[in-house]
Structure 1
Amino acid sequence: MNKSVYRVIGVMSGTSLDGVDLVDASFTKNEGDWHYKIHKSETKSYTKDWYHVLKHLVSKSIEELQEIDEAYTPYLASMIQDFIVVNKLTGIDAICSHGHTALHQPDKGMTYQIGNLPSLFEILKTPIVCNFRVQDVALGGQGAPLVPIGDKLLFSKYDFCLNLGGFANISTDIEIHRIAFDICPVNIVLNHYVALLGFDFDDKGSIASTGDVNLGLLNALNALEFYKKAAPKSLGLEWVKLEIFPLIDSFQLPVKTVLRTFVEHVAIQISTVINQKEQAQVLVTGGGAYHSFLMSRIKEKTSNKLILPEPTLVEFKEALVFGFLGVLKLENEVNCLSSVTGAKQDHSSGIIFND
């Protein structure tokens, strides 16, 4: 399939478990350059039952994950179908879906995203492009992050593209190569601890802003081995459960102190990265961009300019880019960069279901 204009649905479910992000977007290729337009967008929240299931995936065996996958795929398909019907969408070339990460241990050659079964096509009767991470891991890569190809081709005017979701990840050009990596956890930790107070998230950081920084915990977090590693590197929920939660819990601190300290940790780790360039323009997207207190702490530690785009892009950039990854796959163009993931070579990743 080679076209100058593609109309696709991009689908993304992230580690923060706030739901499934869907975008109806078009991508146009003009003299070698790609341009995008978002027509419709929506986040469909998970039911309480599915939220509970997805939150505990890392404790499941492969066999259990496969059973969950069999149930999750039609559930995901129903969300996509509802998005199509409500918005009266027609002329869709493909549905490009990330699925939901159930297992990510690239150092062991393993990654598994549920919701990428052939039944997705059987239900939706529309070409599906999915399972973007597996091939990269098979080629020795981290399988993450995958968004940087979109950063490079769609958002090249920014020096850094920073996403604040379950994890903070960033991409930038170093000489002629795009590099990208996970910086640190963000919402996956903040939401975990604010839930102890009965909230889904800390709105604008209002609770964190009332706490005190615990220097002992802050120093222990900043000393974690992951931060000493060079890119490419990526994080998963498994690492958070193994390294972050036990460390924080060992200090037995009030929740507001934990939140305040972790915000400071995130601000330090992010500013350390973006301060490697001077007078840089930093595009900030993801739910964490609305954490006003975190944003203020990052701004305090950098002279670079943090740019928040319009809300649709803040909230749906990752779903948009996974739609774009699908388009590149349909074009048989590179959509996964070895300079980012550490794979043996650049490649066109993903699986297509269309019959």
Structure 2
Amino acid sequence: MNKREVFVIGLMSGTSLDGIDLVYVKFRKDDYAFFDILHAETVAYSKEWKQLLQNAIHFSSEELLVLDTTYGKHLGGVIDNFIHNYKIEKIDFIASHGHTILHQPEKGITLQIGSGEEIAKITKQKVVCDFRTQDVTLGGQGAPLVPIGDELLFSEYDFCLNLGGFSNVSFHKNGGRVAFDICPVNIVLNFYANKIGLEYDASGKIASEGKINKQLLEALNSLDFYKIAPPKSLGLEWVQQEIFPLIDSLETDISVILTTFVEHIAIQIATVIKNSDSVLITGGGVFNSFLMSRIECYANVKIKQSSDALINYKEALIFAFLGVLKIDNQVNCLKSVTGASKNHSSGVIFLP
């Protein structure tokens, strides 16, 4: 790919199941930091798809194979609509993260569904996907993958922090990029908001009115994961095994749970970004103003808001960028971040 500019559709589906994020981006090949998000959209999941993706962790391998194909067809249709709606003509390729169903890198397991073959067939475009498997095969965590984008697209910031289903961070330290998952965020907050009939706790209003369960807060902050040195990553399995049973054993009031968990998130994030005024924060959690105020309080910082496009679509943007690097056979996975045996260019390419 020797052109000066490259046009890519990137898509991401996060663990919080907000929907499928799509971006249409133009990258400049001589300086990746000069990019334009030309179009962006989130396509919400139907109730049926949400339930299917939530329950897929319990599927058999045969059922997962079928779901991989079905979900790939769904993604293909969503991308086709996106291309049609925005009258997009120039497309060099599509880069898809897929949706994570299983992530247990310590057992050599990671699975992102959404067949690249089906997407390529439906859209009639080249597709790059499956960015995590190779890293896990090389002994890495397969996550986080965004830091190479942080390094090359957003180097002016001391910390790049994402608040999605989980919070993750990346920063430069001792001549290399360090990155890891910090703690769960929306995957827990939304789960308990759902119990009282809400999709999420808008702006953290319910959490802002509750009380803190000090015993629960202490138990959460004492979990073993927080004592492990990076590289480290989290998955839904860990939340189901460690977080939900712990919360349910110590508290039943939803407002108290939300307040206490927001406090827990803020404490864990503050241990990483404390006293830094150069933090790029993105992801849906940014719109939880109560959570943001608690992070600012514990970290002793005033966080500047970035653009809505960056807050909402940074991960989809960076998966588009990972695709650019893969197509050019450049490193897009850093061993300093994932713990893999070497830096490498990860992803699988499907032709239409």
TM-score (structure 1 length as normaliser):
0.97
Q: In structure 2, what is the equivalent of residue 296 of structure 1?
A: 293
Q: Distance in 2 between matches of 1:117 and 1:127?
A: 9
Contact kept, 8 Å, 1:145 with 1:180, in 2: the verdict is yes
Please give the residue correspondences for 1:64-83 in structure 2 after superposition, counting only pairs within 5 Å. 64-83=63-82
Q: Distance in 2 between matches of 1:16 and 1:53?
A: 14
Q: In structure 2, what is the equivalent of residue 116 of structure 1?
A: 115
Q: Distance in 1 between matches of 2:116 and 2:92?
A: 19
Contact kept, 8 Å, 1:97 with 1:130, in 2: the verdict is yes
Q: Which letter does structure 2 place at the counterpart of 1:14?
A: G
Please give the residue correspondences for 1:146-295 in structure 2 after superposition, counting only pairs within 5 Å. 146-275=145-274, 278-295=275-292
Q: In structure 2, what is the equivalent of residue 129 of structure 1?
A: 128
Contact kept, 8 Å, 2:33 with 2:154, in 1: the verdict is no
Matched, 1:330 2:327: yes
Unpaired runs of at least 5, structure 1 = none
Q: In structure 2, what is the equivalent of residue 2 of structure 1?
A: 2
Q: 1:342 aligns with which of 313, 328, 339?
A: 339
Q: Secondary structure at the match of 2:303?
A: strand
Q: Distance in 1 between matches of 2:47 and 2:119?
A: 23
Q: In structure 1, what is the equivalent of residue 16 of structure 2?
A: 16
Q: In structure 2, what is the equivalent of residue 100 of structure 1?
A: 99
Following TM superposition, by how much is the alpha carbon of 1:60 offset from its aligned partner in structure 2, in angstroms?
Answer: 1.6
Q: Which letter does structure 2 place at the counterpart of 1:124?
A: T
Contact kept, 8 Å, 1:169 with 1:180, in 2: the verdict is yes
Following TM superposition, by how much is the alpha carbon of 1:33 offset from its aligned partner in structure 2, in angstroms?
Answer: 4.9
Please give the residue correspondences for 1:134-145 in structure 2 after superposition, counting only pairs within 5 Å. 134-145=133-144
Between Structure 1 and Structure 2, how many residues are aligned?
352
Following TM superposition, by how much is the alpha carbon of 1:2 offset from its aligned partner in structure 2, in angstroms?
Answer: 2.9
Following TM superposition, by how much is the alpha carbon of 1:119 offset from its aligned partner in structure 2, in angstroms?
Answer: 1.8
Contact kept, 8 Å, 2:181 with 2:233, in 1: the verdict is yes
Matched, 1:314 2:343: no
Q: Which letter does structure 2 place at the counterpart of 1:11?
A: L
Q: In structure 1, what is the equivalent of residue 26 of structure 2?
A: 26
Q: Distance in 2 between matches of 1:172 and 1:94?
A: 29
Q: Secondary structure at the match of 1:307?
A: coil
Unpaired runs of at least 5, structure 2 = none
Q: Distance in 2 between matches of 1:169 and 1:21?
A: 18
Q: Which letter does structure 2 place at the counterpart of 1:107?
A: E
Q: Distance in 1 between matches of 2:18 and 2:238?
A: 20
Cα deviation code 1:229-270 (max 9, x no counterpart): 000000000000000000000013200000000000000000
Q: Secondary structure at the match of 2:231?
A: coil
Q: Which letter does structure 1 place at the counterpart of 2:120?
A: F
Q: Which letter does structure 2 place at the counterpart of 1:293?
A: F
Following TM superposition, by how much is the alpha carbon of 1:304 offset from its aligned partner in structure 2, in angstroms?
Answer: 3.3
Contact kept, 8 Å, 2:211 with 2:259, in 1: the verdict is yes
Q: In structure 2, what is the equivalent of residue 352 of structure 1?
A: 349
Compared CA separation, residues 279 and 112, structure 1 to 2 (3 A): closer
Q: Distance in 1 between matches of 2:330 and 2:277?
A: 29
Q: Distance in 2 between matches of 1:306 and 1:165?
A: 17
Q: Distance in 1 between matches of 2:337 and 2:190?
A: 28
Q: Distance in 2 between matches of 1:343 and 1:121?
A: 29
Q: Which letter does structure 2 place at the counterpart of 1:317?
A: K
Cα deviation code 1:318-344 (max 9, x no counterpart): 000000000011111111100000000
